[in-house]
Structure 1
Amino acid sequence: MPTESERKFFVVDDGWRAEAAEASRIRQLYLCTGPDRSVRLRFRAGRAPMLTFKFGAHARDRQEYEYPVPAQEAEEMARFAVGNVIEKTRHLVRHRGYVYEIDEFSGALSGLVLAELETGDEVGEADLPAWLGMEITGNPAYYNVSLALNGLPEPGT
């Protein structure tokens, strides 16, 4: 069973921009959600739309399955979205042997910038980049499904 091990952080400044290797626009939406599962549809320029099933509580490790979907079928499925469509630009940033995904949100979530680090390794505080802020791994308010259903959390959440 494929497992995704992911840490999530606030980004506190633009120091990462000098290290950014590539960027891609993402539009994603949710077709159904539950307390410990979600079905996501993601569109990314130049790639086939992807249907993703995630299982497990909002924690560091969850099971994830991804499948390509024909573009026309994906657009038809998009009509059944629950909540808001998430729009963001994802930047890949390499730092000390790890790849961080920096998501700059737009639209209703404009101004929110989060970083994800997908690794099962225990990366110590001293090895994390200076542009990372507070770790929010396990805080369900900042998972994309919560952002789609509830919008931006109240400050301090």
Structure 2
Amino acid sequence: MVEIERKFKVADTSFKKGARSSTKMVQGFLNTDPERTVRVRLHNDKGLITIKGRTFAKGTSRREWEFQISADQAKELLEICEPGLIKKTRYKVPVGNHIFEVDEFEGENRGLLIAEIELREELETFEVPSWLGEEVTGQKEYYNSQLSSNPYSQWKK
């Protein structure tokens, strides 16, 4: 399966007014090699393991496989992940015909707000909400796998 996704910084928290839901998440990485990232995620009582291939040339798409696992399995796998667990709240915000997933990071990534939108094709148009900021699609430092080892709080501003 190929995932087509664009990422943006978020300018302010006004997106929360339109959020349909929010979920606390913890995620870690068993492998952060850009050619094959393996992520473990725990949210609510659900575990997921996700495998992502390298990002294609434009930075908007890559292969992705996701499998549900038990919460207990996810907790066990989080214990053996590479250092730097990611904690965040994910908001689902409908805008026009799409749903933006906005991540509000905690811990060492506190202060970072990133919105993602999944598309059916790379050139698909979508409604741009007022709270959407600079596009960061393809900028590796904004990948969660990179935030786990190089947190936002350590960036030179």
TM-score between both structures, scaled by the size of structure 1:
0.90
Deviation at 1:129, TM superposition (A): 0.9
Residue type at the aligned position of 1:95: V
Kept in 1: contact 2:141–2:147 (CA 8 A): yes
Kept in 2: contact 1:83–1:150 (CA 8 A): no
Q: What is the alpha-carbon distance in structure 2 between the residues aligned to residue 14 and residue 83 of structure 1?
A: 29
Find out whether 1:149 has 2:149 as its counterpart. Answer: yes
From 33, 38, 53, give the equivalent of 1:55.
53
Q: Alpha carbons of 1:100 and 1:155: their partners in 2 closer, same or farther (altered >3 Å)?
A: farther
Structure 1's unaligned 5+ residue stretches are none
Aligned ranges for residues 1-157 of structure 1 at < 5 Å? 2-46=1-45, 48-57=46-55, 59-121=59-121, 122-124=123-125, 127-152=127-152, 154-155=155-156
Deviation at 1:75, TM superposition (A): 2.0
Q: What is the alpha-carbon distance in structure 2 between the residues aligned to residue 81 and residue 128 of structure 1?
A: 36
Q: What is the alpha-carbon distance in structure 1 between the residues aligned to residue 96 and residue 36 of structure 2?
A: 32
Kept in 1: contact 2:22–2:92 (CA 8 A): yes
Residue type at the aligned position of 2:23: S
Q: What is the alpha-carbon distance in structure 2 between the residues aligned to residue 88 and residue 79 of structure 1?
A: 18
String of CA shifts for 1:51-74, please: whole Å, max 9, x gaps.
Answer: 110001272101111112233332
Q: What is the alpha-carbon distance in structure 1 between the residues aligned to residue 76 and residue 30 of structure 2?
A: 11
Deviation at 1:149, TM superposition (A): 1.5
Residue type at the aligned position of 2:49: L
Residue type at the aligned position of 1:60: T
SS in 2 for 1:82: coil
Sequence identity of aligned pairs in percent? 33
Structure 2's unaligned 5+ residue stretches are none
